[in-house]
Amino acid sequence: MNNTVISAMVSMSGIQQRLDLLADNIANSNTVGYKRKEANFEDTLTRVQNQTSDLNLPGRATPSGFTLGFGSRMSQVTVNYAQGSIQETGNMTDLAIQGNAMFSVLSPEGIVAYTRGGDFHIQPDPDDAESAFLVNQLGYVVLNAEGEPITFPSDAKLSIDAEGNILATNGEGTTEVGRIALLTAEKPDVLVQKDGNLFVLAAGVDPAEAMVDSLTLPQEQRASLRQGALEASNVDLTEAMAEMLQVQRAYQLTARALTSGETMMGLANNLRG
């Protein structure tokens, strides 16, 4: 097969993957606590094409060899954990993390996940009408520093300080009900991004070793909470749209290269005929 066709086909596949990634970022530009994904590319294959001895005749300026490539592919997708902007909401169950940490939440299936999305709300305990949980938009229960669901009186108002300590106040008084877990990944590579703003640990990774309590870190490395606020997505919509236009243009040009390669193959076949 013509090398031009191979190179164009491989490159188009990589560009399409990049378009899909950009589309996902744009779709989540309004998702609370979302972290944008970025693509890294590398050459698929290169080799040095040696010239025949006939090309070394006097008067020729042909190089003795040239590098032949076969397009590029998306080699790795990384997550950009840069802090998103903090937006005040006035909702006392909304929480924004400032610094390097994540909330720990438990899915209805019993799977522990991690998120920067702090758009929580109060959900009554189905087994106890007088108790309630703090849950996210998917119904995942927020966990405390001990890895247990946080429960409090269903009629209580919550006050949460910068370290995540929760005070629940109702007609019977004020009670300390625990501390929200703020966990920092020792190595961000152990986190696998799922739908939206959720992350899970890679298979085989021990949570006790991979995630540490932010309060155990040196003071300058600790994260803090802000009640009544949310962290916005760190996707710059204008920048993402501009990049998508550039990538679409690259796809069009590569498609033209593919068409040209096929045309040249057709001409060569006709000449042979």
Same domain, 93 and 213: yes
How many structural domains is the chain composed of? Answer: 2
Same domain, 92 and 222: yes
The pLDDT of residue 250 is: 83
The pLDDT of residue 125 is: 92
Confidence class of residue 256 from pLDDT cuts 50, 70 and 90? confident
Same domain, 14 and 118: no
- pLDDT of 214 strictly over 90: yes
Long-range contacts, 159-166 (Cβ 8 Å, 24+) = 159/92, 159/227, 160/92, 160/95, 160/225, 160/227, 161/225, 161/227, 162/224, 162/225, 162/226, 163/215, 163/224, 163/225, 164/225
Same domain, 102 and 166: yes
d(CA 55, CA 93): 76
pTM to 2 decimal places: 0.80
Are 176 and 165 in contact, with CB atoms under 8 Å apart? yes
Same domain, 115 and 196: yes
Same domain, 31 and 147: no
* DSSP code at position 138: T
Same domain, 185 and 215: yes
Domain of 262? 3-80+236-272
Which of these, 271, 105, 109, 131, lies nearest to 198 by C-alpha position? 105
For 128, the 3-state DSSP assignment is strand
87 alpha carbon, distance to own chain's centre: 21
